[in-house]
Structure 1
Amino acid sequence: MHPQALTLWRGPRWALAALLACLASLGPFSIDTYLPAFTGMAQALGATPMQMQQTLSAYLLGFAVMNLFHGALSDSAGRRPVVMVGLAVFTLASAGCALSTDITMLVACRALQGMSSGAGMVVSRAVIRDLFPQEAAQRVMSQVTLFFGIAPAIAPWIGGLLFVHISWQAVFWFLAGVGAVLWALMWRHLPESLHASQRQPFDVHHLMQGYRELLANRCFIPLALASGVPFNGMFLYVLSAPVFLGEILGLPPQHFFWLFLMNIGGIMGGAWLSGRLAGRVAQARQIRYGFSVMLGMMLLNLALTLGVGAQAVWFIPVISLFSLGWALVVPVVTLMLLDQAPTRRGMASSLQACIGSVTNAMVAGVLAPLVMHSAMALAFTALGLSLLGGIAWFWVRGKIASP
């Protein structure tokens, strides 16, 4: 922790949580906003569905690769500089997307967006642990997850309106504006939470050695998988939204926001509950509750898909409850993961984000295109991803000290 942590932020904790949530949500926000415009973008640029899917894969791969460095850079130069540069590059990349005249330029600018947007997610986690002890950090992390849900909930609605009433380019001009506003907010309000005495010299050899040590840690990878892989159970449906919602469920683009709204409502409910349980329920028990909800909802999703077929009236509430279970798990598991490297939390956050992003990219580039046209295949795949996360936690739970 920062030696003067109590003086760095004098406002209410919820305000800091809202500020950090803005940073953390920029990545998913820039995905959810442009999904409703997929069809129009493909027609305007003469792109195939597979080429359009690569705009997601390029974004996620760029996010994953650069995340290996965001945390280490913030451990060396400080948290603020990494955030400010990341937001500036994101703003310029969003403008580049809006100006794209072919699919190649769009994919390249989306990759640049991904490389820059991850800075906020990585650094926001490190800031929390810089400023707060364990129980307080869990409450703030839960509040961040709570606020995190607001942006993705409105993103597809905004994207759908901009696409239907203006153009697909308007979606990316809007994202450029969001990046500029966030840059101004962070410049004015974000504290530097890394004390000068805690800064680490940036050395690539030292960085790679640190990553090797983390990868050799028998708890780190299972914890990263326990928090990241189940997320793809719902992310798979988000990635498949243009086909699943539009073709299978028959919803128009401007109604896509119902899935996102209910999904994020579940995340916000789970985050609120996680904050209430901090210090009252053993962390391992809270995680068990979360996985029980997730697996139960995915089994119900599969049973209803087999029994009555995919229908929005039951599917959207089931996915919402799945999201609640995930939000119960992720704040606790993330703090456990960061504490595996207490002197290099930025690096630990980077590696966690990288592992999660590689997983997301594989789901976006490989799994989603294979299964998005079948409600049955989607249900089986989402259940499998949830089971993988549960197995990872089951394996590591006895090796983690839990209060």
Structure 2
Amino acid sequence: MPSGIALILAGLAMLGPFSINAYLPSFPEMTRVLHTDGVALQQTISVYFAAFAFMSLWHGAISDACGRRAVVLAGLAVYAAASLGCVFVTGVEQLLPLRALQGLAAGAGIVIGRAIIRDLHDGPQARRMMSQVVMVYGLAPAIAPLVGGALQRAFGWRAVFLFLALLAASLFVAVVLRLPETLAATARQPFRPGPLARGYAGVLGNRAFMAWSLSYALMFGAFFLYVLSAPVFLMRHLGLGEADFLWLFGPATAGLVGGSALAGKVSARWPVRLTLQVGFALMAAALAFNLAVCLARPPGAGWYVLHLFVFNLGMSLAVPTLTIRGLDCVPARRGMGASVQLFVQTGFNALIAAVIAPMVWGSLLSLAAGAAVLFLCAGAGVLLAARL
């Protein structure tokens, strides 16, 4: 088996956060150049998520029928072309369909990456490889706005989308050279209406699988609420500038990487129950601290971002277990299961972008309360999933 597969899978997964976070520092210039406003630009995130969620339902099923590698390569080619198109737009009405096309293509890597991990490994080995992918992928939320901010300051917002096109092209080459096919021809499923309908009915009707998937989406949403509110959270509430996105993404990324490293080390030693207990205890402590800080309102931006480190430490400790436990519920349809997992998560992210984030970003306390509610719902979902 060629080396570097985990790194390639992490790179494929990083397209998602780069597609969102890299151009956030460019919002002020894009507002001026494209003669639009912040609400319209926010919809370029929402349309991306909606397209991402829709197509994520199909990437896995197509890869179950055609093999993993070809679908990943097709997705990267379409994503590169859409990103290149974004470079030349002159209005937000042109940007919206290209962002949708990016969303349709970007999910192929992350969906099929999960299925590839389960094709190659099971049990503790699968959780260890998943934690390795999450650890590298966790760098993306911090790196993306830094890269985007640097490109914005040096060349303007169009350079950000040119970078995304080049990133996809580089990943295309890496997949061609280093990623083998992991789904044997004898294990493939027919891509016909009847078998597809039965497959989706079986996956969507699996209560344990859906409980794990919804719990993941709600848990991630408690963090992602801050990502989608980043311009308001950092610039309006904390008084920071367009070059200061590291205040949010720095501690968040450190937590993701640290938790993923810990998950990899304890995957063979800690039982699933203990892993989830520790992860959720860390997240609960972080959100309780954040609520207390928002009520006390001490001066200094650091107080308001510290909880992101601890929360993401716990979240990334729990992510491999939630993902693998969900896929274990649908062993004959791992590709389709990975698709539905990502559909649920991304569909919920689109809801956060379009409705929840604008509803709660009016104050630091309302943001903290919104994150806490999402986390409590995630915890209830895990308790339910464990009983099914």
TM-score bracket relative to the smaller structure: over 0.9
In the alignment, which residue of structure 1 is the partner of 2:204?
Answer: 215
Name the amino acid aligned to 1:321: V
Q: Hey, what's the Cα distance between the residues in 1 that align with 2:28 and 2:237?
A: 15
Of residues 307-316 and 336-345 in structure 1, the stretch that sits farther from structure 2 once superposed is 307-316
* CA–CA separation in structure 2 for the residues paired with 1:189 and 1:178: 16
Moved more, 285-294 or 199-208: 199-208
Secondary structure, counterpart of 1:334 in structure 2: helix
The yes-or-no answer on 1:193 pairing with 2:182 is yes
Q: CA deviation at 1:344?
A: 1.2
| Match runs of 1:219-368 below 5 Å | 219-309=208-298, 311-368=300-357
- How far apart, in 1, do the equivalents of 2:283 and 2:193 lie? 39
Q: Structure 2: which 5+ runs fail to align? A: none
Partner residue, 2:362: 373
The equivalent of 2:27 in structure 1 is 38
1:179 aligns with 2:168: yes
Question: What is the letter of the counterpart of residue 343 of structure 2?
Answer: C
Superposition deviation, residue 310 in structure 1: 7.3
Q: What amino acid is aligned across from residue 261 of structure 2 in structure 1? A: W
Q: Secondary structure at the match of 2:329?
A: coil
Q: Secondary structure at the match of 2:182?
A: coil
Question: Distance between the aligned counterparts of 1:380 and 1:310, measured in 2?
Answer: 20
Segment of structure 1 superposing worse, 249-258 or 193-202: 249-258
Q: TM-score, structure 2 length as denominator?
A: 0.98
CA-to-aligned-CA distance 1:347-381 (integer Å, 9 cap, x gap): 00000000001100000010111222311111110
- State how far apart, in whole Å, the 2-side matches of 1:373 and 1:211 are: 39
2:169 aligned with 1:169: no
CA distance in 1, matches of 2:37, 2:255: 34
Contact 1:304 1:310 in 2 (8 A): no
One-letter code of the match for 1:209? R
Deviation for aligned residue 1:221: 1.3
Residues in 2 aligned to 1:273 and 1:61: alpha-carbon distance in whole angstroms: 33
Identity %, equivalent residues: 43
Superposed CA offset, 1:203-229 (max 9, x none): 133223211212221201110012121
Deviations 1:41-78 (A, max 9, x none): 11111112211110010000000000110000100110
Q: Which amino acid aligns with 1:219?
A: A
Work out the CA distance in 1 between the residues paired with 2:312 and 2:83: 29
Structure 1 position 119 matched with structure 2 position 108: yes
Matched position secondary structure for 1:344 = helix
Question: Which secondary structure does the structure 2 equivalent of 1:219 belong to?
Answer: helix
TM-score (norm 1): 0.94
Contact 2:247 2:302 in 1 (8 A): no
Question: Any unmatched runs of 5+ in structure 1?
Answer: 1-8
* Contact 1:87-1:179 at 8 Å conserved across structures: yes
Residue pairs, 1:11-30, within 5 angstroms: 11=3, 15-30=4-19
Structure 2 Cα separation of the partners of residues 205 and 104 of structure 1: 38
Distance in 1 separating the partners of 2:103 and 2:300 = 33
Is 1:76 aligned with 2:56? no
Superposed CA offset, 1:240-276 (max 9, x none): 1111101111111111023112211101111111111
Alignment check: 8 A CA contact 1:156 1:256 kept: yes
* CA-to-aligned-CA distance 1:96-155 (integer Å, 9 cap, x gap): 111111111111111110110000000000001101121111110111111111232211
Matched-pair contact (CA < 8 Å) for 1:267–1:324: yes
Q: For each residue in 1:283-328, what CA deviation from the matched residue of structure 2 results, as whole angstroms up to 9, or x when unmatched?
A: 0221111111112111110111011257421222211110111101
The farther-off stretch of 110-119 and 202-211 is: 202-211
* Counterpart in the other structure of 1:157: 146
Structure 2 contact 8–171 (Cα < 8 Å) conserved: no
Matched, 1:205 2:211: no
SS in 1 for 2:89: coil
> Structure 1: how far apart are the matches of 2:265 and 2:182?
25
**How far apart are the structure 1 equivalents of 2:193 and 2:344?**
19
Helix, strand or coil at the partner of 1:343: helix
Structure 1 Cα separation of the partners of residues 274 and 193 of structure 2? 39
CA–CA distance in structure 1, aligned partners of residues 132 and 157 of structure 2? 33
| Letter in structure 2 aligned against 1:77 | C
SS in 2 for 1:254: coil
CA distance in 2, matches of 1:311, 1:186: 45
How far apart in 2 are the matches of 1:310 and 1:233?
24
Corresponding position: 1:53 with 2:42: yes
Separation in 2 of the partners of 1:244 and 1:259? Answer: 9
Q: For residues 34 and 373 of structure 1, what CA distance do their matches in structure 2 show?
A: 22
